[in-house]
Structure 1
Amino acid sequence: MKKLSLLILMLVLFACQTKREQFTNPILAGFYPDPSICKVGEYYYLVTSTFVYYPGIPVFRSKDLVNWKLISYVIHKPEIFNVEGSRVSRGLFAPSIRYHDGLFYVSCTLIDRGGNFISTSADPEKGWSDPTWFPQVNGIDPSPYFDEDGRAYLIYNSIAPDNAPLYDGHRTIRIIEFGIDSLNAIGEESILINGGTDLSKKPVWIEAPHIFKKDGYYYLIAAEGGTAYQHSEVVFRSRSLTGPYISYEKNPILTQRHLDPKRTNPITTTGHADFVETENGEWWAVFLGCRPYVDKDYYNNGRETFLAPVKWIDGWPVINPDFDEVRYTYDYPLPKAETGSRPQSGNFIFKDDFSTDQLALEWMFLRAPKEAWYSLSDKTGSLNLKVRPEQCTEYVNPSFVGHRQQHLNSSASTSLSLETQKENEKAGLLIFQNEEHFYFLCKSVADGKPVVQLYQSGVKDSSMLLLVSKPLDIATRDIRLKIESKGDQYAFYYATNNVDWISMDRNVDAKFLSTQVAGGFVGCIYAMYATSLGEPSTATASFDWFSYEGDDDVYKQKQ
């Protein structure tokens, strides 16, 4: 009996010693939708959609699939990114990244402004080529595929056959060859998938296709069901690149639409996946998902990037096969590797004191700046924004420098200096979903005296509704501002010293900024923002620091 007890103890100790560390989902928290991934050498590379935000298409690098470092953007020149006049959920849709013969290829769609393109790079950290356009491709979500015979193809979502849809949401997946050297389309396109998994059931919005080859089969994975609650991932296979493709009889291979919406800490809308095989032969999927804060699928973070294992079952890949729910934690796929940069998942703090000569890569502009309206050198240790006529209610590039909301429970704060005598000149913090859905906490003037104001956007025009106004001492020059997200509510504060926060309003409706209410494909952005509401101005707003802190309780729980 003693020997048996000792053996059991040894086995328990061995299991504890060999237990793999777990990682936290999402691996890219906040508005990072439509992920695509590839492996080159010891590194993995990942890209996501950015719509009209600039720079466009972030490129991340990792050694372990979990800890990611932002290294560059594919769209990094204002002159090649003209999205003036496009609302925030247009712009860059669904990039794909692949590697072939010494070059990285990123394909994407610039909606309304040129269509589909490919950019290339020999070293993503050093930059990307200007886009090469594919006017022959009528569709979205292009993904390159390089076949074993050296020929290259684009696979993409397109219109129904003969442009005659049988129902709303009837789309196709098509393929066309392109020249690797010329990046020009060759020949005629072919239809690979008509409608989706079963045309008789009227499947909708087949999109985001990727092709890879394994064990003599070409596998085509795609999203189906639309990018909201009915979202899913499906798979087809064929012995020939151009088909016919057979749908897996147990599709979808990933969805959460069948689960109880009232479950604890749900992850919803999963789909738009891409696969990668690790050096140890395991397969993993990256995909988008959302984290709602109430059971009616309200979420403000937008669509985030998740990671889950893939298993091959009877010759078919299945995502997350051991669980019904996508998990917040899984075992690390590979030994944990540090990136040397700030975390992108779990609970973390990001602070910028603007002491460098360039903005950190994490910062975002609302459309591309065409003039020098911000500076890190005019005042040492400050980000200075010109107070300009442009407004965030318009489809233009305002004085707006943003950071994603990456947690359900988060806060953004800053120190602001603004000297003005004009009521139309305002600067402060935004929490911004789109041009008709935002809150603005700012310093300004009313009746000739300095004030702190809280506005809510109008939903039908460019007006703003004043919710709260509080007076400041006439001598007050610098103030601090803070916005907190608390699930379905936002709270707004200001301070005139370094100690005491004064509440403007602690219970402001966050659902107003949710995708469910505001629509679109993006997530909320905390932004330093300055505007003169359409009037000429010579004022400048100085921000001495910005701090973001995210702390979600679910990360403290063990599943």
Structure 2
Amino acid sequence: MIFKGLLGAALMMATSAASAGDARFDWFDYQGNDTIYRFVKPTESQYLNPILSGFHPDPGIVRGGDGAYYLVTSTFGWFPGLPVYRSTDLVSWSLIGHAIDRPGMLDFSGLGLSRGVFAPTISYRDGTYYIANTCVDCRGNFIVTAKDPAGPWSDPVWLPDVGGIDPSLFFDDDGRVWLMNNDAPEGEPRYEGHRAIWLREIDPKTFQPISDAHVIIDGGVRPEEKPIWIEGPHIYKRDGWYYLSAAEGGTARGHSQVILRSRTVAGPYTPYEGNPILTQRDLSENRPFPVTSVGHADYVQDDAGNWWATFLGVRPYDTEDHYNTGRETYLLPVRWTPDGWPIILKRDAKVPYLDERPSLPKAAPPSLPTNGNFSYREEFDGATLDGHWISLREGHENWAKLEAGSLVLTPQMLPLGSGRNPSFVARRQQHMTASASTAVTFEPGINQSAGIAAFQNDAFFYALAVTLDDTGNRIVELRRRTGEAHAPDGTALASAPLKGDADAPVRLKIEADGGRYSFLYAEGPDAPWQVLVKDADGTILSTAVAGGFVGAVFGLYASGP
């Protein structure tokens, strides 16, 4: 695929006509309308959580050399990877680029969708930005650098002597650079989920270790309780203390953030007696509009000297911990205790949807909202595809182009569940109650289909498409895949005949309402919507059912010989 900038290299405006068998999408429309935002409305002095809705996990944040703030999140096996957002007030965020945006930087081929790039951290020092990251199942830990956080970012510098995941950099005042990471503990793990945080000094130019690594957290802040999955470490310095912050408890409902400190960067580190400093695991599951699974926090200091924390959380739509929007990015102020400990949230307090804005000049809203109820419409009339569009793994094949106000996809012999790089571009589902629709012109051949999908991973999705039935007549068909044991293109659930001409657009629509998804179609621009399937089981698109670490997306696809 020819990609540019934020989706690889470029979906350039094409000049030739679409090939026979190509699918032409005239527009893509998204509507988000969550109930909570009808009641929670920020005043001029407030901001709204989450600050980045939809699949934006593991946020890392830094204040840059220009005084602005830059935030990166995980993308796992999606491409381009590691989106970079910019803000001047910590509230209004705009996507400016991706750190992994060129084929060949990393090799995602053959990876499960929840492998790839985990938990990036971003740092700034003396005119250079650094992202430390892990490519799981694809060579391990690495660092990329850039003079401009919008890119281009360097090719990865690999850290072959650093195992585990979640590397993070700390630049000390004396010019020394330290690397933290999660890895197995010394000796044999004592229980499932027993991990440790390791620290070593690295060369500031080559990033390779120049000291032996040693453990600075073994298991967690209360080892006698057998804490699990200590990860996501960061070190900060304040008033002569080195503060070590890390996530603990896994990324489900037991997730939390803990803090320790030391007078020397190498430790030993003493945990805060009041840990955890952020969690929701002690609250009632029946509370209204819950935010759960919070943790993986990173701190930043603003112009006024105030400290803030970004962290991930989820918004389940039932007490069974079903959520389809993935792990999202939240912001809260950090409050320091009189004896010098940074607290994000009291143990019994709920993550608020509203809080007081930072004391920074208010920035203009971003061109595309990142939270609250919003809608947008993509007309495909630009020279390049908008940077919020993502594809599965890397887009090497030449299967997409922008042409005369349409997105044209060439079908490949790769179904949506192939585990490879099918002709599929997608946008995040950012609301529990949402809809996505499009108009597609497509004259399918045998075993060809094109349409719109609600997709969680290769094994769990719905696909609503224009295709042919066994007698060669055009139909609209809904297919579903609910696990790897099923066919990679899913199983047919319902279909209806299409009566119009093949050169006329067919409108397709998906409506999500928590754990229920409905699928509609219409022929012609003004025809009423017809329901093909109503209230299908949407929990198959939740993390609790589909597994992994990603969130659901809505996307446009074409497949077949």
Q: TM-score, normalised by structure 2?
A: 0.89
Alignment match of 2:509 (pick from 482, 492, 507)? 482
* Paired residue secondary structure (1:280): coil
The 1:20–1:502 alpha-carbon spacing in structure 2 relative to 1, beyond 3 Å, is closer
Q: Output the amino acid matched with 2:197.
A: I
Aligned partners of 1:311 and 1:321 also within 8 Å? no
Alignment match of 2:463 (pick from 424, 434, 440)? 440
Q: Output the amino acid matched with 1:528.
A: L
Distance 2:116 2:366 in 1: 31
Write the deviation string for residues 349-388 of structure 1: whole angstroms up to 9, x where unpaired. 1211111111111000111111221011xx3111111110
- 1:81: Cα distance to partner? 2.3
Greater C-alpha radius of gyration: 1
Write the deviation string for residues 181-235 of structure 1: whole angstroms up to 9, x where unpaired. 1222222111111110111110100000000001111000000000001000000
Write the deviation string for residues 392-431 of structure 1: whole angstroms up to 9, x where unpaired. 2122111010000000011111110111231x10010110
Residues 70-81 of structure 1 correspond to what in structure 2 (within 5 A)? Answer: 70-81=95-106
Write the deviation string for residues 40-67 of structure 1: whole angstroms up to 9, x where unpaired. 2320000000000000100000011111
- 1:340: Cα distance to partner? 4.3
Percent of residue pairs bearing the same amino acid type: 46
Which structure would you say has the larger RCO, counting Cα contacts within 8 Å and 6 or more residues apart? 2
* Paired residue secondary structure (1:187): coil
> Is residue 159 from structure 1 mapped to residue 187 from structure 2 by the alignment?
no
* Paired residue secondary structure (1:517): helix
Alignment match of 2:84 (pick from 43, 46, 59)? 59
Q: Output the amino acid matched with 2:426.
A: G
Aligned partners of 2:280 and 2:347 also within 8 Å? no
Aligned partners of 1:450 and 1:474 also within 8 Å? no
Residues 495-534 of structure 1 correspond to what in structure 2 (within 5 A)? Answer: 495-499=522-526, 500-532=528-560
> Is residue 175 from structure 1 mapped to residue 202 from structure 2 by the alignment?
no
Aligned partners of 2:261 and 2:269 also within 8 Å? yes
Residues 74-223 of structure 1 correspond to what in structure 2 (within 5 A)? Answer: 74-162=99-187, 164-223=188-247
In structure 1, the partner of 2:493 is: 467
Write the deviation string for residues 16-58 of structure 1: whole angstroms up to 9, x where unpaired. xxx8521111100000000010012320000000000000100
Distance 1:93 1:126 in 2: 20
In structure 1, the partner of 2:23 is: none
State the 4+ residue runs in structure 1 displaced beyond 4 angstroms. Answer: none
Write the deviation string for residues 438-485 of structure 1: whole angstroms up to 9, x where unpaired. 000000010111000001114113342111100011524310111011
In structure 1, the partner of 2:374 is: 348
Residues 134-533 of structure 1 correspond to what in structure 2 (within 5 A)? Answer: 134-162=159-187, 164-313=188-337, 314-321=339-346, 324-333=349-358, 334-376=360-402, 379-422=403-446, 424-446=447-469, 447-459=471-483, 460-463=485-488, 464-473=490-499, 475-476=501-502, 477-499=504-526, 500-532=528-560
In structure 2, the partner of 1:8 is: none
Distance 1:189 1:82 in 2: 28
Aligned residues: 511
* Paired residue secondary structure (1:188): coil
- 1:281: Cα distance to partner? 1.6
Distance 1:339 1:72 in 2: 18
In structure 2, the partner of 1:15 is: none
- 1:322: Cα distance to partner? 9.5
Aligned partners of 2:278 and 2:344 also within 8 Å? yes
* Paired residue secondary structure (1:61): strand
Distance 1:207 1:50 in 2: 17
Q: Output the amino acid matched with 2:160.
A: P
Q: Output the amino acid matched with 1:206.
A: I
Aligned partners of 1:58 and 1:73 also within 8 Å? yes
The 1:481–1:143 alpha-carbon spacing in structure 2 relative to 1, beyond 3 Å, is same
Aligned partners of 1:31 and 1:404 also within 8 Å? yes
* Paired residue secondary structure (1:493): strand
Aligned partners of 2:93 and 2:366 also within 8 Å? no
Q: Output the amino acid matched with 1:135.
A: P
In structure 1, the partner of 2:13 is: none
Distance 2:232 2:136 in 1: 15
* Paired residue secondary structure (1:350): strand
The 1:23–1:322 alpha-carbon spacing in structure 2 relative to 1, beyond 3 Å, is farther
Distance 2:367 2:101 in 1: 21
Q: TM-score, normalised by structure 1?
A: 0.90
Please say which of residues 76-85 and 331-340 is displaced more in the overlay: 331-340
Q: Output the amino acid matched with 1:507.
A: D
Distance 1:260 1:126 in 2: 44
Aligned partners of 2:444 and 2:466 also within 8 Å? no
Structure 1: where are the runs of 5+ without partners? 1-18, 538-559
Distance 2:299 2:376 in 1: 30
- 1:347: Cα distance to partner? 1.0
Write the deviation string for residues 305-349 of structure 1: whole angstroms up to 9, x where unpaired. 001111001210000349700011111113320154211111111
Aligned partners of 2:47 and 2:355 also within 8 Å? yes
